[in-house]
């Protein structure tokens, strides 16, 4: 039997219940069990995570095709900035008799 080959595993971590799972980094491991241990040590040993997702990098569907993601034609009409909300909101406020909310204090 030859030694098990190491392969990369991607680790996603959730800082608190309900929060997003964000990419933390990767670990090298020969299998899911050891990958889980190493993910725990590198991304959870200081109680900085409540959940980890550990995914074999080879199982990730990788999409980086510029034809699909960065097409050459103008796509500005697909961005929400094309719609001006300010006037619609002002009209709605007026109709409901509500004042404009103040800016949130920092």
Q: Give residues in contact with other proteins (CB under 8 A).
A: 1-4, 6, 27-29, 33-34, 37-38, 40-42, 45
Residue whose CB is less far from other proteins, 18 or 54: 54
Q: How far apart are CA 25 and CA 10, in angstroms?
A: 6
Strands 22-29 and 7-14: antiparallel
The order of strands in the sheet holding 51-56 is 22-29, 7-14, 51-56
Q: What are 24's two structure tokens?
A: 């933390």
State the nearest-atom distance from the C-beta of 69 to other proteins, in Å: 32
State the nearest-atom distance from the C-beta of 42 to other proteins, in Å: 6
Residue whose CB is less far from other proteins, 6 or 91: 6
State the nearest-atom distance from the C-beta of 7 to other proteins, in Å: 12
């Amino acid at each position: 039997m030859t030694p098990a080959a190491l392969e990369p595993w991607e680790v996603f971590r959730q800082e608190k219940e309900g929060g997003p799972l964000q990419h933390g980094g990767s670990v090298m491991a020969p299998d899911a069990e050891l990958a889980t241990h190493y993910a725990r040590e590198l991304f959870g040993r200081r109680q900085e995570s409540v959940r980890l997702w550990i995914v074999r990098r080879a199982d990730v569907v990788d999409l980086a095709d510029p034809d699909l993601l960065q097409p050459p034609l103008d796509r500005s009409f697909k961005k929400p900035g094309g719609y001006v909300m300010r006037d619609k909101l002002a009209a709605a406020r007026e109709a409901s008799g509500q004042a404009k909310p103040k800016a949130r204090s920092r």
